[in-house]
Amino acid sequence: MDAVHDPIGAVALAPVKLADGIVAQLSEAVLEGRLGPGEALPSEARLAERFGVSKQVVREALHQLAAVGVVEIGQGRATRVRAPDAAPLARILRFAVGRSREGLAEAVELRRIIEPQVARLAAMRADEAGIAALRRIADRLAAACGDVPAWIDADLDFHDHLAALSGNRLVRLQVASLRPLTHEVMVLLNGRTPRDATDWQATLKRHTRVVSAIAAHNPDAAERAMAAHFETAEAAIAAIFAGQGPKARTTRRRKTP
């Protein structure tokens, strides 16, 4: 490889934890933009030559990077840099939560912490195209009343889109990484007892209040509407997660004296 055009900038590695050294240098090349999303890495043989290690060490390093979503390893094709996505964080959260109700309760608690602020940012930063897309998702929710699978899909898209409207990439990744866990919670919530038309309409109205506040670019109203959305569902959530987690998952806000 021509060192003048070498985007990796490989240097000699210490004899201990060689794979970690390769991970560090390749990661630095990605972080500094010398290797961008979609770009192919040199072959294992070329990397081994550049770093002065065996192909087995290079292979170990690439698998470490693939595990955290930095690169994608393909059979019979070049390893390429991946654009950041939520999949690695989603896997970490899935294992952290496990199969326990306590873990799912903690996921709900995390959403209650971040989503009102997500709605606030969305109200501050959403453009007209983004608001129009949010209204289309709200229309899907209206059409899905009574159809649990369709409702859950639209509801997940609603919250993902709010994260996109926030304009914050880390927020978007965080909300997207919670999607699989949120799906599990929504299935539990909607599977408790049959819901009547009044219940469906009340839930829909809570979503449309959020949409209206964002469309009006009113951050305070958007934050309040999202907080109220979660607070209204508190009884149902408490019934599902009764006795789970620290202090039985008490999440009600304290009233100011």
For 114-127, the pLDDT digits (tens) are 999 999 999 999 99
Together in a domain, 62 and 28: yes
Average pLDDT, the chain: 87
Q: Is residue 255 part of a domain?
A: no
Q: Is residue 254 part of a domain?
A: no
User: In Å, how far from its chain's centre is CA 47?
Assistant: 32
pLDDT, mean of each 10-residue run, the chain (257 residues) = 60 68 93 92 94 93 92 89 90 86 86 96 98 98 96 97 97 95 88 85 96 98 95 75 52 42
- Contact call for residues 181 and 94 (beta carbons, < 8 A): yes
- Contact call for residues 71 and 81 (beta carbons, < 8 A): yes
> What pLDDT is stored for residue 12 in this prediction?
60
Together in a domain, 133 and 193: yes
As given in the structure block, the two tokens for residue 44 are: 């294992």
State the residue range of the domain holding 164: 88-249
> What pLDDT is stored for residue 256 in this prediction?
38
How far is Cα 85 from Cα 139, in angstroms, rounded to an integer?
27
> What pLDDT is stored for residue 10 in this prediction?
62
Together in a domain, 38 and 97: no
The CATH number of residue 113's host domain is 1.20.120.530
> What pLDDT is stored for residue 144 in this prediction?
97
> What pLDDT is stored for residue 238 in this prediction?
75
> What pLDDT is stored for residue 248 in this prediction?
43
> What pLDDT is stored for residue 13 in this prediction?
54
Q: Pick from 195, 207, 206, 182: which is nearest to 105 by CA?
A: 182
As given in the structure block, the two tokens for residue 84 are: 């950041």
The structure's pTM equals 0.76
Instruction: Report the domain count for the chain.
Output: 2
